[in-house]
Amino acid sequence: MLDLARMTWTFLWLSLICVGGGLGVIPELQRQVVDQHHWVTAREFLDGYTLSQLTPGPNMMVAVFVGYRAHGLPGALLAGAAMFLPVSILTAAVARHWETLRERPWSRACEHALAPIGTGLMAAGVYTLARSGIHDWATGSLAVLAAAVLYRRWLPPLALVVSAGLAGWLAGL
């Protein structure tokens, strides 16, 4: 019970530092759920993130995956609620007053200052995922190939991830 409360609290504060979208919080999320609390292994974490890419909705659904692993259905429900509810209320509250707030000079300063911080966090998220997902030359080559295919827009992202899964299955990665 104590661990369930600890997990809910962890996802709640993680949602509040989720600046620049879901990817930015990945390093801290992995540190908390894998290294600190051992709710999932690093491999399971990457698989959970991959599943959240393959399913619709926000990719921070990985919270539901971790919550289920740690505490079953109540864990999934509480982790999901902690990840989405407080920030949704905050967004609704600010959205009501955004028209007037955004004209203030410091709002603009925050807007400009947070953009590079958010992108830096996203880059750290890529680094964290790469450390779990690339462990030999085959997975490394697949990642580079996937990046090239996506960059040239030869395939939409979902088709690309599914194709790579098929390739992994055929090659027995």
Partner 1 sequence: MARVRLRKLLQVFGWIGLTGLGAGRSVYFHDATVVRRPWMTNHEFIQDLTLSQLLPGPNFSNLAVAIGVRLGGWRGGAVGAIALIVPGALILLAATVLYFRAGLAPHAASAMHGAGAAVVGLVFVTTARIMGAAIRRGRDLLVAGAVFALVGPLHVNTIVAVLLVAPVALWMHRPRRAPRS
Interacting residues with partner 1 between 100 and 119 (CB under 8 A): 102, 105-106, 108-119
Tokens of 69: 């692993």
Among 39, 49, 71, 82, binds partner 1 (CB under 8 A): 49
Tokens of 60: 């921070």
Among 4, 37, 74, 87, binds partner 1 (CB under 8 A): 87
Tokens of 86: 């407080």
Q: Is 41 in the site for partner 1 (CB under 8 A)?
A: no
Among 10, 50, 78, 82, binds partner 1 (CB under 8 A): 50
Among 7, 8, 10, 84, binds partner 1 (CB under 8 A): 84
Q: How far, in Å, CA of 44 to CA of 162, rounded?
A: 18
User: Minimal distance in Å, beta carbon 118 to partner 1?
Assistant: 7
Q: Which is nearer to partner 1, 5 or 17 (CB)?
A: 17
Tokens of 171: 């090659």
Residue 35: CB atoms within 10 A of its CB come to 9
Q: Is 27 in the site for partner 1 (CB under 8 A)?
A: yes
**CA nearest to 74, candidates 8, 124, 135, 159:** 8
Q: For residue 146, what is the enclosing H or E element?
A: helix 137-151
* Eight-class DSSP state of 17: T
Q: Which is nearer to partner 1, 5 or 173 (CB)?
A: 173
